[in-house]
Structure 1
Amino acid sequence: MIDSLALRWALTVILTAATLGSISGGGRSRTGRAPGTTTLRISSAAHAFMGVAMITMLWPGGTVMPGGLEAIVFAVTAGWFFRLASGVRPPGSAPRWPDLHHALMAVAMIWMALAMPVALPTTGMAGHQHSPHGDTSAPMGMPALLLIAGVVLAGYFLLAVVLWLSHAGLGLHITSVAGAPRRSRRAFEAASHAVSSAVMSVIVLGAL
């Protein structure tokens, strides 16, 4: 995991801001005028939960809930976004890729729930028990499939940073004064997702 205390605090602050930014439009419709739909509110709550979970994972022993239950919650979250990505979309709705990305974020959270117990040092209860040879910092071997999945996820999230920044740039391409606030908000949300993707890649790489 990430050993630098300064880096942990920096990522915590950055990820907190990114999480707030990514859920900033959860209570509003795509136009920014009317109240958001139930789907948008559920998606916003899922973003908030994943953001909090990512922040806790930056710190030793940090989990929102027991590992097994956490994995189940993230599996449901992944299913929710996969459903949105594969479902019929009404005119004017957001493109499919962001929902697929959010589903992969949830998959990465499941990966973290599985990988963290393997990646953490085997120090025994409360870190006070020692191995026969006095080595308390050697992690258990990570299964090859889990390792490969981690590398693929980390690589994808690095690519996602570029894709989200591209979305942010398009959002700032204002074609009308009336649409400027809504486009600026979408650009800010896209930039927040880019930051979250970058942090996720760092967290996954730190667990490998």
Structure 2
Amino acid sequence: MIAASGLRWILTLAFALSSVHGIWCMVLPGTNIAARVDHALHAAMGVFMIAMAWPWGMDFPAVPQIVLFGAGALWFVTAAPLRRGEDSRGRTLRRALPHAVMMGAMAWMVAAMDVSGSMSGHAGAGSGGDMPGMDMSGGSGLAAMSLTGTGPRTAAALLAAGLAVIGLVWLTRTLDQARGRGLPEGGVEAANEDNGRDNRRGDVSTAGVLASGCHAAMALGMAVMFVLLV
């Protein structure tokens, strides 16, 4: 939960952009099944990240989220052959890994907050005092809570760094594509490039820029959320 209203709204807009993009791609005619699942997972992650930034998001049960995003991480790795197309298996897997990392990080965040007792239905929630494993003082002035303990805070810091790198790579790719310096990369967005839609270069380029930009917004927003937990 984020205490600073300005940051909360900025992250809400970033996550909403990713969710809307995921839903839009998911319902496009001709989208294959694997791509629909990919986009549905990204849309769901955006929705739950929005919820996590607001006080009412703490009322959501943790276990279904952990199961959903844990399964999502496995999906992006195991379903890589379904997105292969003309690429090698190794390259397709490398493109899927950032998405798997994001899903796994989301599952970890929910699990960490669940263990702390800050999620719905757990002892200590709503008690008004500090919860085990969670500092409710919000010392940074930005977050209403942060993890305590060396292990959880170190893990959160490492995940924040990893997500920041992923987000910056996607952001660089977005800017390069927008300038016309690079073709749209593969990954999840590439699954829609072979789905029977108009594949004229201009259309694909626009779709690639939008997809990379939305993924960058999601990854960087998640990185900020993890920093606030440290």
What secondary structure, in the 3-state scheme, does the structure 2 residue paired with 1:62 have?
Answer: helix
Pair 184,86 (structure 1): closer, same or farther in 2 beyond 3 Å: same
Deviation, 1:88, is: 7.9
Residue aligning to 2:43: 48
Choose the corresponding residue for 1:105, options 102, 107, 110: 102
Which residues of structure 2 form unaligned runs of 5+?
139-144, 184-198
Pair 71,86 (structure 1): closer, same or farther in 2 beyond 3 Å: same
**Is 1:38 aligned with 2:50?**
no
Q: 2:117 & 2:218 partners in 1: Cα distance?
A: 22
Q: Is the 8 A contact 1:165 1:194 kept in 2?
A: yes
Residue aligning to 1:31: none
Residue aligning to 1:146: 152
Q: Is the 8 A contact 2:25 2:36 kept in 1?
A: no
Deviation, 1:183, is: 0.9
Pair 85,153 (structure 1): closer, same or farther in 2 beyond 3 Å: farther
Which residues of structure 1 form unaligned runs of 5+?
29-33
What secondary structure, in the 3-state scheme, does the structure 1 residue paired with 2:126 have?
Answer: helix
Deviation, 1:156, is: 0.8
Give 1:42's aligned amino acid: V
Deviation, 1:106, is: 1.0
For these two proteins, the number of residue pairs brought into alignment is: 199
**Is 1:161 aligned with 2:140?**
no
Q: Is the 8 A contact 1:82 1:103 kept in 2?
A: yes
Deviations 1:17-63, CA, capped at 9 Å, x for gaps: 232235543345xxxxx701100111111111111111101012515
Q: 1:137 & 1:13 partners in 2: Cα distance?
A: 26
**Greater CA deviation, 53-62 or 19-28?**
19-28
Q: Is the 8 A contact 2:11 2:221 kept in 1?
A: yes
If the length of structure 2 is used for normalisation, what is the TM-score? 0.72
**Is 1:114 aligned with 2:111?**
yes
**Greater CA deviation, 153-162 or 11-20?**
11-20
If the length of structure 1 is used for normalisation, what is the TM-score? 0.78
Choose the corresponding residue for 2:225, options 190, 203, 206: 203
Q: Is the 8 A contact 1:26 1:40 kept in 2?
A: yes
Q: Which runs of 4+ in 1 moved over 6 A?
A: 138-141, 174-177
RMSD of Structure 2 on Structure 1 (CA) = 3.5
Q: Is the 8 A contact 1:85 1:100 kept in 2?
A: no
Give 2:225's aligned amino acid: I
Deviations 1:156-179, CA, capped at 9 Å, x for gaps: 111112210232234332799931
What does 1:1-208 align with in structure 2 at a 5 Å threshold? 1-28=1-28, 35-63=30-58, 65-85=60-80, 89-91=84-86, 95-117=92-114, 118=116, 124=124, 126-128=126-128, 137=137, 142-172=148-178, 173=180, 178-208=200-230
